A = this chain, B = another copy of it.
Amino acid sequence: MQNFTFYAPTYFVFGKDTEKQAGSMVKQFGGTKVLIHYGGGSVVRSGLLDRVKASLEAEGISYTELGGVKPNPRSGLVYEGIKLCKEEKVDFILAVGGGSTIDSSKAIASGVVYDGDFWDFYCGKPIEKALPVGTILTIAAAGSEGSPDSVITREEDMMKRGASGNAIRPRFSILNPALTQTLPPYQTAAGITDIMAHLYERYLTNTEEVEVTDRLIEALLLTMKHEGPRVIEDPNNYEARANIMWAGMMAHNNSCGVGRSQDWNSHNIEHELSALYDCAHGAGLAVTMPAVFRYVMNHNVMRFAQVATRVWGCSMDFAHPEATALEGIAKMQAFFTSIGMPSDFAGIGAKEEDIPTLVENLCCGNGRDGTISGFVTLDKEDCTRIYKMMV
């Protein structure tokens, strides 16, 4: 196991009706003038936004608001949010929505207290200071409610990049599984896929002898395998929603990723797809992961055989471990398909002729040196082959 530090000080309030505590939580964490940041549609229609405002008002906390966050959140709205926060002297940002809204809020939080362009943080500059952020989560997927991470797409060139820092880890996160019950099946399935991807990215390690984190990751994958189909079958199944919601947080707050090298190649390869085609990130991952895994499998066949047997219920073929590994990947892909996720380029509106552009952005964008690294280091030729496997 590698040396590590782990610090996850977010205060979680989990369960039915917990959004009513928004005002008291903001107060507890020192907010006096709040920016409520959200997407649109359902947060407004469901009455959630009104309940949140009422909760703030009950505590005498003033607020301003900024809606319009889109999936794969954009830099344009971040700049707008930073300007608004400065004008209104906002001292706390309350994200009401899913990962996109939370990531946009984190970007704004980092930019308000920084003199330069917030995009610097998405080019590798560590975030050391930010306004405090709280979240009310409406989609179980990104894990941004408990993580120090944010992903933003720069509009001028559709470059999708991530930033990280404990300063943008939410001070509190309110998780009410009932709020996710109105999510359409496709977004629910994309969320499930994203959570499972966060687990696989940690599972694919080059660090040896990390049984405890292997087992924790497998535990969360098994949970998703059990609860995913139940929630697709019955969107109102509160218990299944609750199990998925806590698994989604645990999958990405890094408690099961400490002390081991991680992959993240699938995420990087997918980011180019959702940036260019604006597909759901989870849907892109459902297409990307099977291709990547088949391509890199021989780097450590036993690791893929292990997850195949422990999670996917495959019988170990001791004479041909690679057969077990392949069977596990096939079962994972069949699982994604069974919950309504696509399995190829056509399913996410991607085009074979764009592959050179995708590869160029992926391997050479934002100062990369022609490769991406993780479980295996991949160059342009590797990435071209992987994208072609998805066609």
Report which A residues bind B (CB closer than 8 A): 1-16, 18, 177, 208-213, 215-216, 218-220, 222-223, 226-227, 239-240, 242-244, 246-247, 250, 255, 258-259
The distance in angstroms between the C-alpha atoms of A246 and B1, with both chains bound, is 10
Q: Which residue of B lies closest to A173 (CB)?
A: B6
Hey, which chain B residues are within 8 Å of A243, CB to CB?
1, 209-212
Q: B4, B6, B11, B209: which contacts A5 (Cβ < 8 A)?
A: B11
Contact A6 B14 (CB under 8 A): yes
Smallest distance from the beta carbon of A105 to chain B beta carbons, Å?
20
Beta-carbon contact of B246 and A258 below 8 Å: yes
A223–B3 CA distance with the chains assembled, in angstroms = 19
**In the complex, chain B residues whose CB is within 8 Å of the CB of A223:** 211-212, 215
A20 to chain B minimum Cβ distance, whole angstroms, is: 12
Known: A209-B239, A216-B219, A255-B255. 11 other contacts (CB 8 A): A1-B239, A3-B14, A3-B16, A9-B9, A209-B242, A210-B243, A212-B244, A212-B250, A215-B219, A218-B219, A250-B255
| Contact between chains at A220 and B211 (CB < 8 Å) | no
Instruction: Check if A220 sits within 8 Å of B209, measured CB to CB.
Output: no
A329 vs B162: C-alpha distance when bound (angstroms): 48
Residues of B within 8 A of A11 (CB): 5-7
Enumerate chain B residues within 8 angstroms of A14, measured Cβ to Cβ: 1, 3-6, 258-259
Tell me, in angstroms, the Cα distance from A30 to B255 when the chains sit together.
Answer: 26
Chain B residues whose C-beta falls within 8 Å of the C-beta of A255 in the assembled complex: 250, 255
16 residue pairs of the A-B complex, CB under 8 angstroms, read: A1-B15, A1-B246, A2-B15, A3-B18, A5-B12, A9-B9, A14-B258, A208-B239, A212-B219, A212-B227, A212-B250, A215-B219, A216-B220, A218-B219, A242-B259, A246-B258
Question: CA separation between A243 and B212, bound complex, in Å?
Answer: 5
| Closest beta carbon of chain B to A136's beta carbon, Å | 15
Q: How far is the CB of A272 from chain B (nearest CB, A)?
A: 32
Residues of B within 8 Å of A2, CB to CB, are: 15
Contacts of A8 in B (CB 8 A): 8-9
- Complex alpha-carbon distance, A223 and B244, angstroms: 23
Q: Determine the chain B residues whose CB is within 8 A of the CB of A3 once the complex forms.
A: 14-16, 18
Ranked 10 nearest A-B pairs via Cβ = A3-B15, A9-B9, A219-B219, A209-B239, A215-B219, A1-B242, A6-B12, A212-B243, A7-B11, A212-B223
A220 cross-chain contacts in B, Cβ below 8 A: 212, 215-216
Closest to A243 in B: B212
Residue numbers in B under 8 Å from A250 (CB-CB): 212, 216, 255
CA gap between A16 and B244 in the complex, in Å: 35
Whether A215 and B211, one on each chain, are in contact in the complex, defined by CB atoms closer than 8 angstroms, is no
A351 to B317, CA, bound (A): 53
Q: Which residues of B contact A208 (CB under 8 A)?
A: 239
- Which chain B residues border A209 with CB–CB below 8 Å? 239-240, 242-243
